[in-house]
Structure 1
Amino acid sequence: MHTAIWALVWFGLVFPAFAQEGAPSAVPVGTVNAERKPVSRNMEFVGRIEAPDRVEIRARVKGYLEDVLFKEGDVVKEGAPLYRIEQGLFEADVQQAQGALERSKAAYTLAVIQLQRAEDLLSKNAGTAVARDQARAMEQQAKGAVLADEANLRTAQINLGYTNIVAPITGRIGRSSVTKGNVVGPDSGVLATIVSQDPMYVTFPVSQREFLRQAETGSRTDPKSINVQIRFSDGATYDQVGRINFLDVTVDRTTDTVMARATMPNPRSALIDGQLVRVILEAGTPQEKIVIPQAALIADQAGVYVFVVEDGKAAIRRVKLGGEIGPGAIIEEGLSAGDQVIVDGLQSVRSGIPVRANPVSRTLNGM
């Protein structure tokens, strides 16, 4: 009897503890309401940024490099001085050519006078036709020498001008491959490269499958009316919208794609020549779609699902995806506008457990 009493006392003390442990407390989770948003029909491609103008700066004459007149990485204006080559020898060539031209002009003047005298003597029967013909030949030779010396002077002046290397376009200049004190010339290779900045091009290959799909749907969208957006490698979306300005006339036989190109504004130099980006084409009339943060998506062998809050408990909803739009996912089936979708605390959530919903702010605009 005594043992039974103690057993009842022990059971009365322990059972409430077990009861408390068996009733789990609600797990706090962050939720976002599924929203219905206007979504355009998108196509996404891998593209690369290209500068419309790209110039390699080279030396056109050989000489000692006196000065480098720019700062690497700066934007230079068209006509701005970049390099200066020693000018002494080229100035001497110009003076030499000027002296040769003066001599040839003097010889030409004398030849003209001698021809006139020979013609006068021949008209008075005091000279011969042979003498007149010789004087005419000398005059023509002197005239040819003047033309040749004028060309030599012009060449010397052009070479002197090449000692000042200037920017042929406006753009950002890269690293200089030479420094002051080196001898440069036509065989020195590229001294620096200038690329234009605004606007920029983005080129991307479009597969034949996409063209056929457009043909099957009967779509005849003007390529120039399609909005072009760019997404960077970190997921951020570029804040400028571009337009397609070129479709290649041939198909690449190795990849079965057509190269497309769009013009993108670049007022703040955010786009860099050679940069790899994602290209998003938006066409057609926007349609209302359910959009939720991609952070809410969970995948398993059966597909993709999310957790939603129903009657204070976590519940699984299988969803059908319709694509991505920035940080958001488009949901074709499985959710309705206003559903509370769990986005934070998913590691602690299981189907059917009590949860305490805490709304969080997630921006889905601008995607």
Structure 2
Amino acid sequence: MPTGKSSLPAAILFAGALLLSACDEAPKTENSPPPAPKISVAKPVVKKIIETDVFTGRFEAKEDVELRARVAGYLQEIHFKDGELVEAGDLLFTIDQKQFQAELENAQSSVEVAQSRLDLTKEEFERGQKLRTSGTIAASVQDQRRQEFLAAQAELAGATARLRTAQLNLGYTKIYSPVKGRIGRNLISIGNLVQANSTVLASIVSLDPIYFYFDVDERSYLAYSRLGRNGTRPSGRLTPYEVKIQLTDEDEPKHTGNLDFVNNRIDNATGTMRGRAIVTNTDLFLQPGLFGRISIPGSNEYEGVLVPDQAVGTDQNRRIVFVVGEKNVLTPTVIRPGPRIDGYRVVRTGLKGDETIVVNGLARVRPGMTIDPQVQELPPVAAKD
């Protein structure tokens, strides 16, 4: 029994010692620094690129024709269905021909009469020439025969011209398609009077190839002009740059064309320069009036530095990225961003391309912060969202 009593105080002393030791260690745990946060970092993508600028515009038909008759008359036939594709030379309308056929026959008769009179006056003139050498007829008589012969020639020429006019007018009663394309609805019904050179019968727009018109702001135009003058980017007037066009329901440009026209003056009202691209449209998918966004080359090819958009932060009116320095300490670096290429943002100034930057989690970092870098490798082309 004495042995049990002596062990109880010893146990109490041991428990107290452990409690005091725990109390001494608790403050040390509270004052220890937290571990550095794990942040995704990577080196920028460095590769050959061509900067592009994006402008808005619309598709327009290369040929847009309003059909009008060249003679007046009543519409007799319509030879097409509204909205169908037509070929150049297809017959589209017929105007009543009876009046023009009668005028043609009358003109043919006039030619025959004039030809007969010319033959008679020619014979008389030639006979008079022979008689005049022998002195059988007076000079005045021969002069009169000569005048009648010349008048008959002129009369035949006039009758022939009227015949050609009648032939043309009869031909104008049939109206053919001047271009290949899609015709709209007929704007006048059979039996209505068609006025010459006035009444619009229908319209036709060509579809392949098709134009895309767009406007370039004055600042961009001046930049292109200076690059052209310096020889770093040839003028669009001289070089048919390849362009890409994106429709409103597309995630990326899918239609390719070539720049083929730049206007000769800045528009005073809008302060823009009008440009045009020509686009192949073999499947006739693109239609006049469609809205689109055109990407045109804004530079020659050069080695560019590209970073993800999520790596770019904002500091008031500046754009910054966080560069990982010695001992994994972050330093903000001001950059001048450019356009997006291959899913990345072009960095025009501020980075050389050999730095390591934060590519994700900007909301968790601040200048001077120490991080635990999680190194990644960015692919040459960013994955689509």
TM-score calculated relative to the size of structure 2: 0.67
- Counterpart Cα distance in 2 of 1:226 and 1:271: 20
Q: Which residue does the alignment assign to 1:85?
A: 95
The reply to whether residue 147 of structure 1 matches residue 157 of structure 2 is: yes
The reply to whether residue 184 of structure 1 matches residue 194 of structure 2 is: yes
- Asked if structure 2 preserves the Cα contact closer than 8 Å seen for 1:75 and 1:172, the reply is yes
Secondary structure in 2 aligned to 1:179? coil
The reply to whether residue 62 of structure 1 matches residue 77 of structure 2 is: no
- Counterpart Cα distance in 1 of 2:129 and 2:183: 65
Secondary structure in 2 aligned to 1:156? helix
Query: Where does the alignment leave 5 or more consecutive residues of structure 2 unmatched?
Result: 1-41, 321-333, 351-355, 366-380
Shift of 1:171: 1.5
Secondary structure in 1 aligned to 2:274? strand
- Counterpart Cα distance in 2 of 1:166 and 1:102: 31
Counterparts in 2 of 1:71-110, with a 5 A limit? 71-110=81-120
Task: Please identify the structure whose Cα radius of gyration is greater.
Answer: 2
- Asked if structure 1 preserves the Cα contact closer than 8 Å seen for 2:103 and 2:166, the reply is yes
Which range moved further: 104-113 or 227-236?
227-236
Secondary structure in 2 aligned to 1:186? coil
The reply to whether residue 284 of structure 1 matches residue 300 of structure 2 is: yes
The reply to whether residue 227 of structure 1 matches residue 242 of structure 2 is: yes
Shift of 1:41: 1.0
Shift of 1:46: 1.7
Q: Which residue does the alignment assign to 1:125?
A: 135
* CA distance 1:101–1:290, shift in 2 (3 Å): same
- Counterpart Cα distance in 1 of 2:312 and 2:73: 65
- Counterpart Cα distance in 2 of 1:77 and 1:174: 14
Give the one of 215, 239, 254 matched to 2:269: 254
Aligned length, in residue pairs = 304
Give the one of 169, 173, 181 matched to 2:179: 169
Give the one of 325, 330, 335 matched to 2:345: 330
- Counterpart Cα distance in 1 of 2:313 and 2:189: 57
* CA distance 1:214–1:95, shift in 2 (3 Å): closer
* CA distance 1:189–1:292, shift in 2 (3 Å): farther
Shift of 1:111: 0.6
Secondary structure in 2 aligned to 1:50? strand
Counterparts in 2 of 1:239-278, with a 5 A limit? 239-278=254-293
Superposed CA deviations along residues 142-172 of structure 1, whole A, max 9, x for unmatched, are 1111000000110000001001100111122
Secondary structure in 2 aligned to 1:191? strand
Secondary structure in 2 aligned to 1:55? strand
Shift of 1:365: 7.4
Counterparts in 2 of 1:276-355, with a 5 A limit? 276-282=291-297, 283-285=299-301, 287=304, 289-291=306-308, 322-324=338-340, 330=345
Which range moved further: 183-192 or 145-154?
183-192
- Counterpart Cα distance in 2 of 1:65 and 1:114: 50
* CA distance 1:119–1:212, shift in 2 (3 Å): closer
Which range moved further: 47-56 or 125-134?
47-56
* CA distance 1:331–1:244, shift in 2 (3 Å): closer
Query: Where does the alignment leave 5 or more consecutive residues of structure 1 unmatched?
Result: 1-32, 306-318, 342-349, 353-362
- Counterpart Cα distance in 1 of 2:189 and 2:44: 60
Secondary structure in 1 aligned to 2:168? helix
* Percent of aligned pairs with the same amino acid: 30
RMSD value, Cα: 3.9
Shift of 1:244: 1.1
* CA distance 1:186–1:225, shift in 2 (3 Å): closer
- Counterpart Cα distance in 2 of 1:366 and 1:152: 72
- Asked if structure 2 preserves the Cα contact closer than 8 Å seen for 1:82 and 1:165, the reply is yes
Shift of 1:188: 4.2
Secondary structure in 2 aligned to 1:228? strand
Secondary structure in 2 aligned to 1:149? helix
Which range moved further: 166-175 or 278-287?
278-287
Shift of 1:304: 10
Which range moved further: 171-180 or 280-289?
280-289
Superposed CA deviations along residues 29-63 of structure 1, whole A, max 9, x for unmatched, are xxxx9995966412111222222222211011111
* CA distance 1:35–1:163, shift in 2 (3 Å): farther
